[in-house]
Structures are given as C-alpha cells and as structure tokens.
Amino acid sequence: MAASDQVRLLVVEDVPQVGQYIRSLLNSQQQIKLLDVMSDGAKVAGQIAQLRPDVVIVDALLQGRVKGPQLIGQLHAAGLGVPVIVLTVPQKPIEPDPDIGVHAVLSMPFSGYDLISRIHGVQAAFRETQAVGNSRLITVFAPKGGVGTTTIALNLAVAIGQAGRRTALIDGSLQFGDLRALLKVPMSAPSIVDLPTDRIAEGDLSDVLWRDPSGIDILLAPPRVEQHEMISVRDLDKILSLMRRVYDVIVIDTTVGIDERTLALLDASDTIVEIVTFDSTTIHNTLVMADTFRSLGYPPTKVRYLVNRADSAGGIAEQDLAAAIGRVPEHRVVSDGRLVVQSNNEGVPFVLAEPSAQISQDVIGIANALLVADRPAVGARH
C-alpha cells in the first residue's frame, strides 16, 4: 500500500467498551492505522502535533476536564489541519458543520463498514477543500549506475532547501548507503533502521535524522549491507506518510535497479527525475524503464528527464537522444569534473561551494522549475 493510501487515525474516547469496539473493527484491515485511543481531552492537541493523524474521531459525550464539544472547538481554533469526525448517539443528533470543526458525524451503533467508509469519506472531502499540494516527494532515479544520481539528488535537495522550503533527503540506496559515504557521516550515526517498526512520531524522526550543515535533514540508509533487509515496504510507507506531514519537499536518492522497496518509493513519488546521459547503454535502459513505467500506469507527467553531463555528447546528437526517448528532456546539467570531484571529496554540495558555477546554476534552475511546476498526479499501480 502506498504511503498516501494509509489513513492515520486518532480516537478520543473515554468509554473503554467503545474504544475496544473501534479497535476490533480496525484490527483486521490495513487501510487505516489506529495510532491511539485517548481518554483525556486535555492532551489531544499535543498528541496531534506529535502523531500527525489524518483523521480524528471525538466522542461528543467525552467527559473530564475538557469535554467533547469544548475539545472540538479547541481543535478547530488551533487550525491543526485535521478533519474531525464526531461520535454521537441518536438521542443527541449533531449536524456536520466544518465551520465549527465538525467535518462528519458517526452515530452509534455503527458497523465496521460505517466506520471505515466515514473515515475515508471525510479524509477525501477534507483534502479537496485544502489548497494543498503541501508536500512534494521527488525521487531521483537512473536505470544505470555511474551517471551521478546521488550527487544530483544531494545538490537538488540543498538547492530546494536554499529556496526556503523545509527539505529532507532520504537515502533510498538502502543496501550501500551512498549518501553516508558521500557526506562522510560516521558509521555510528543513526539511520532508518533506528526508527520504531510500529508507531512513528515526529519526535522519533528528530532523533534519527542527520542534520547536515547545508540546512537539510537527511534520513540515512543502514550502516551495514545486511541491515537493508530489516526495512520493509510497509516501513517505508509509514515513514513517507509522516515525513509528508513534516516537510515541504522530500527528495529521495535511489539505487540502480527495481526491487520492491525502490518501486514503493517510485509509486509514492509526485515526480520522478530520471537521469540520462549521452551513453548508448543508459539510453537503452531508459527506454526499458519507459515501458515499465507505462505498464505501471504512471502518467507521462510523473517522469521528468534530466540530461547529466549535457555538454559531453560523445558522438550522440541531442536530437537523436530526444528521438530515442520520445521527447525533449526537461532538464540539463553541464559537466564540471573538477568542481564535482572536489566537492564530493570534501562532502560539500557544489551548489554551496560555487553557486555561480554553471553546473550549480543548472541544478538551482531545476529546483526552481520543480517547485513552481503544477503538482502532477501520483501514478499508482493498478
């Protein structure tokens, strides 16, 4: 299941039997993740900030220091950006009214179908009313090694961060941890395997992320090769779901080849920046991947081609490259071996080391183009 498909649910209910009933209804399915059942309304706002749920259910009959109607009003006034389903009984009917924080109503008794459909319905309706496209997930991918994927991903993420967006970079090369090597991060630094395997909160992220001097946060791959097997597709879904709520832009560096983890990252992406070079093998592999992406149901707008080392044609004309891949590549980055090698050896992004260099200007221009582009629809497999 893609990260954007799993609904994170927080329930506020002080009647144990009702809380347990909701747990039992959700226990046998994976579409909705029950984060917690809370009984103290006074602690709810703080938990929403930490757990980042997609939907909150509040019992209108909640007792305690903060009663149900008061809590609903508080959540609405706080502007937390989370739709609220109000749980009530037929004897005390409530009408949905988003203007007071009641986005939907669920009356007891209710079935599992009633609960799940109401949760999905309110989340979908709430998303449509938001002027969001809030978080962008950009994956840098190449069908062949040695074309500069990790270097481009790092510098692109830093350029986006320099543009004022809260940016995170994920090392999706889970087996070899390319970013750890490039940035000379100590092997003892925390990585993705240090995150909880069940419920992940924002506080867990802050404990694990590497805060790079460039100003971006980096989620590192495991320090040892065999540890990549500890990361499941479900883990990646949960991590991406939370990070989308925390960051404006997430950039992912990927490894060569398609396994189930890389495919999960590509599925979840809003934009795939695919690197191609003037190399016959790379072009061939790019064509193979184009067929694969079509078979997966990705819309053409989801993939944007970046020609790296664009001034080193090697005997292949630009128009021949465009004819081979069926369109003119959207982006180009010139070569600058001296700057790239020096920057990589020093662990400093070249967009910061020499921002006026042509290669830096190319990447900064790509970052700006991606930020202003209309958000493409996420292509999911069917």
Q: What is the pLDDT of residue 134?
A: 66
Amino acid identity of 55? V
Q: What is the pLDDT of residue 302?
A: 93
Tens digit of pLDDT at every position of the chain (382 positions): 444 468 899 999 999 999 999 999 998 888 899 999 999 999 998 888 778 888 999 999 999 999 999 999 999 888 777 899 999 999 999 999 888 999 999 999 999 999 999 999 998 888 766 534 468 999 999 999 889 999 999 999 999 999 999 999 999 988 888 898 899 899 999 999 888 866 667 778 888 999 999 899 999 999 888 888 888 888 888 888 888 888 999 999 998 878 889 998 999 899 999 999 998 998 999 999 999 998 888 898 999 999 999 998 777 888 888 898 889 999 999 999 999 999 999 989 999 999 999 999 999 999 999 988 644 444 444 3
Q: What is the pLDDT of residue 155?
A: 97
Query: Per-domain residue ranges for the chain?
Result: 3-129, 136-372
Rg (CA), the chain: 23
pTM over 0.85: no
**Apex 130 CA angle, 124 and 133, nearest 5:** 95
Q: In what order do the strands lie in the sheet with 32-38?
A: 32-38, 7-12, 55-59, 84-88, 104-107
3-129 CATH fold: Rossmann fold (3.40.50)
Q: Tell me whether the CATH fold assigned to 3-129 matches the one assigned to 136-372.
A: yes
Q: What is the pLDDT of residue 129?
A: 64
What is the separation, in whole angstroms, between the first and last Cα of the chain?
11
Q: What is the pLDDT of residue 133?
A: 46
Residues 6+ apart with CB under 8 A from 115: 22, 25, 26, 106
Instruction: Please state, in angstroms and rounded to a whole number, the distance separating the CA atoms of residues 13 and 85.
Output: 12
Cα within 13 Å of Cα(248), Cβ side: 13
The token pair that represents 315 in the structure block = 């005997």
CATH ID of 136-372, from 3.30.70.2080, 3.30.160.340, 3.20.20.80, 3.40.50.300: 3.40.50.300
Instruction: Please state, in angstroms and rounded to a whole number, the distance separating the CA atoms of residues 155 and 336.
Output: 14
Instruction: Please state, in angstroms and rounded to a whole number, the distance separating the CA atoms of residues 128 and 122.
Output: 10
The contacts found for 76-81 with CB under 8 angstroms, 24 or more apart, are 76/100, 76/101, 77/101, 78/45, 80/45, 80/48, 80/49, 81/130
* Torsion-angle region of 133 (φ positive above 0: left; ψ -120 to 50: alpha; else: beta): left
Question: What SS3 state is found at 203?
Answer: helix
Q: What is the pLDDT of residue 377?
A: 40
